[in-house]
């Protein structure tokens, strides 16, 4: 049994090592693609999207009603002659003399000679002559050209993940095609002769493989492309040959399992044998044993095989690497919450705890661990219900209900 005393690193030190030594020099993926909006969902913008023109492009009516010259409303009630109708989409710009008005629909362009909209509710809704009972303020119910956005304004910055709402904003500002980064191609492999595909049956010593399923789906959610998701043998030569195949054409390989100090930890053994593998103990719980390498030049991240350890390792190290490859900027979001209940935390290690989030009656965000018993490190169901991860610092050995905790949204 190997008893390697590994270098102990903080989370930040290990992450910095990944960014500098594993990814050093490789910025975001250079290749970009121009895609129509209908195909952009889930992609990451490589360039900012700017408004192609003013929004609104022309002064228009915010109400169904009558476009008037406000000077005609000095005495009330009054009657104005209706000289034209303007519907939404009309290009008309009817002339208006004193005492005249134009019937206008929501969104229709304001006639150049008018300055104010009288909503239909303040009138008798006349079609030849309209009686106006009440006057809005001058300029009321008019949306000015460029009032929302000016031509050239950034609608959505580079690095944004494209959601349905983001697409709505981009379309409204007139852009029909966006430039997104190529999806990073990621190969996923779980190691361990004890792994059985879900749906099979277990004999003594075997467990169901879940890390590949979880990582592959999470990578898709993040906008990556999963080239393969496989289980690798614990036999070193076969493992190395499979790794050659996995790395071929990939931007990143994610391995789970076999990274610890055990005698049969094949990921560590093979990657260290190649003289490129770097294995560390990180001051965190779960997820202490971590490793990385470049295999045929392709970055490889190796996570511990316990499902919760893998999930946390992915959140803490895998996601930042994917975001780096995609050039993704994290949007603002909540970063702290209040512990709804207490729990113990290992001194000297940063603890990551899957939590649910709710509200209290004063608007505070409450974090409740989603595991139900004892240690979180093998609580397979704790992930399904989690909305965030609570982060407990190294110098804390106990969280008490009411304590402020750092959180990271999932």
- Report how far residue 405's alpha carbon sits from residue 391's, in angstroms, rounded to the nearest whole number: 7
- Report how far residue 264's alpha carbon sits from residue 234's, in angstroms, rounded to the nearest whole number: 7
Nearest to a second copy of 58, 396 (CB atom): 58
R_g over Cα of the chain: 30
Provide the minimum distance between the beta carbon of 353 and a second copy in the complex, in angstroms, as a whole number.
14
Unique residue bearing structure tokens 């008798």:
124
Instruction: Name the segment binding a second copy (CB under 8 A); options: 25-33, 235-243, 257-265, 344-352.
Output: 257-265
Which helix H or strand E contains 252, and what residues bound it? strand 252-256
Instruction: Give the number of residues written for the chain.
Output: 410
Provide the minimum distance between the beta carbon of 30 and a second copy in the complex, in angstroms, as a whole number.
25
Nearest to a second copy of 15, 62 (CB atom): 62
- Report how far residue 370's alpha carbon sits from residue 381's, in angstroms, rounded to the nearest whole number: 8
Tokens of 195: 């792994």
Q: In the set 11, 22, 44, 55, which binds a second copy (CB under 8 A)?
A: 55
- Contacts of a second copy in 265-304 (CB under 8 A): none
Asked whether the beta carbons of 73 and 132 are under 8 A apart, the reply is yes
- Report how far residue 297's alpha carbon sits from residue 226's, in angstroms, rounded to the nearest whole number: 19
Sheet containing 298-303, strands listed edge to edge, beginning at the edge strand earlier in sequence: 8-9, 278-282, 289-295, 298-303, 252-256, 185-191, 225-232
- Contacts of a second copy in 184-243 (CB under 8 A): 192-195, 197-200, 202-211, 213-221, 229, 234
The pattern of x and - marking residues 312 through 331 that bind a second copy according to CB under 8 A reads -------------------x
Kindly give the pairing relationship between strand 388-392 and strand 404-409. Answer: antiparallel
Nearest to a second copy of 147, 225 (CB atom): 147
- Contacts of a second copy in 57-76 (CB under 8 A): 57-58, 62, 64
137 binds a second copy (CB under 8 A): no
Provide the minimum distance between the beta carbon of 195 and a second copy in the complex, in angstroms, as a whole number.
8
Nearest to a second copy of 165, 237 (CB atom): 165
- What are the Cα distances from residue 44, in Å, to 167, 174, 175, 321? 12, 19, 16, 14
Instruction: Name the segment binding a second copy (CB under 8 A); options: 19-27, 69-77, 89-97, 318-326.
Output: 89-97
Provide the minimum distance between the beta carbon of 70 and a second copy in the complex, in angstroms, as a whole number.
19
- Report how far residue 267's alpha carbon sits from residue 243's, in angstroms, rounded to the nearest whole number: 10
- Contacts of a second copy in 366-405 (CB under 8 A): 373-374, 377-381, 383-387, 404
Tokens of 66: 């009558």
The pattern of x and - marking residues 8 through 47 that bind a second copy according to CB under 8 A reads -----------------------------xx--x------
104: burial class by Cβ within 10 Å (0-12, 13-18, 19+)?
buried
Tokens of 396: 């804390």
Query: DSSP state, 361?
Result: T
128 binds a second copy (CB under 8 A): no
The pattern of x and - marking residues 331 through 360 that bind a second copy according to CB under 8 A reads xxxxxxxx-----------------xxxx-
What phi and psi, each to the nearest 5 degrees, are found at residue 199? 100, -20
Tokens of 133: 């009972």
83 binds a second copy (CB under 8 A): no
Provide the minimum distance between the beta carbon of 97 and a second copy in the complex, in angstroms, as a whole number.
21
Provide the minimum distance between the beta carbon of 272 and a second copy in the complex, in angstroms, as a whole number.
16
Asked whether the beta carbons of 378 and 327 are under 8 A apart, the reply is no
Q: In the set 101, 108, 186, 253, which binds a second copy (CB under 8 A)?
A: 108
Nearest to a second copy of 17, 60 (CB atom): 60
Nearest to a second copy of 19, 151 (CB atom): 151
Nearest to a second copy of 19, 194 (CB atom): 194
Cβ neighbours of residue 14 under 8 Å, at least 6 residues apart? 280, 282, 290, 317
Nearest to a second copy of 15, 264 (CB atom): 264
Nearest to a second copy of 208, 276 (CB atom): 208
């Amino acid at each position: 049994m190997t008893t390697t005393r590994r270098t102990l690193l903080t989370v930040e030190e290990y992450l910095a090592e990944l960014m500098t030594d594993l990814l050093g020099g490789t910025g975001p993926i250079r290749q970009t693609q121009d895609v129509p909006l209908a195909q952009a969902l889930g992609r990451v913008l490589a360039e900012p999207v700017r408004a192609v023109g003013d929004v609104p492009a022309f002064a228009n009516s915010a109400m169904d009603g009558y476009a008037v010259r406000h000077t005609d409303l000095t005495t009330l009630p009054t009657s104005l002659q209706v000289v034209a109708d303007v519907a939404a989409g009309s290009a008309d710009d009817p002339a208006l003399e004193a005492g005249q008005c134009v019937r206008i629909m929501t969104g229709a362009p304001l006639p150049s000679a008018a300055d104010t909209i009288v909503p239909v509710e303040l009138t008798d809704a006349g079609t030849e002559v309209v009686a106006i009972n009440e006057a809005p303020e001058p300029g009321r119910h008019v949306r000015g050209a460029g009032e929302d956005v000016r031509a050239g304004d950034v609608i959505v910055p580079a690095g944004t993940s494209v959601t349905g709402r983001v697409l709505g904003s981009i379309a409204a500002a007139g852009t029909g095609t966006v430039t997104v980064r190529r999806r990073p191609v990621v190969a996923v492999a779980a190691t361990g002769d004890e792994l059985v595909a879900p749906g099979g049956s277990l004999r003594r010593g075997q467990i169901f493989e879940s890390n590949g399923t979880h990582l592959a789906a999470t990578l898709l959610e993040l906008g990556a492309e999963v080239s393969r998701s496989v289980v690798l043998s614990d036999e070193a030569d076969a493992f190395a040959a499979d790794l050659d195949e996995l790395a071929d054409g990939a931007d990143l390989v994610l391995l789970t399992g076999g990274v610890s100090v055990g005698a049969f930890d094949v990921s560590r053994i093979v990657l260290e044998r190649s003289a490129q593998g770097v294995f560390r103990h990180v001051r965190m719980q779960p997820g202490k044993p971590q490793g990385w390498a470049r295999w045929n030049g392709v970055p490889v991240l190796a996570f511990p095989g316990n499902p919760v350890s893998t999930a946390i390792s992915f959140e803490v190290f895998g996601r930042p690497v994917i975001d780096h490859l995609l050039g993704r900027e994290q949007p603002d979001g909540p970063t702290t919450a209040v512990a709804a209940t207490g729990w113990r935390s290992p001194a000297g290690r940063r603890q990551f705890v899957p939590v649910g989030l709710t509200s209290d009656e004063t608007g505070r965000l409450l974090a409740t661990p989603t595991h139900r018993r004892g240690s979180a490190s093998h609580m397979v169901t704790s992930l399904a219900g989690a909305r965030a991860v609570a982060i407990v610092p190294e110098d804390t050995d106990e969280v008490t209900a009411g304590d402020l905790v750092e959180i990271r949204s999932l």
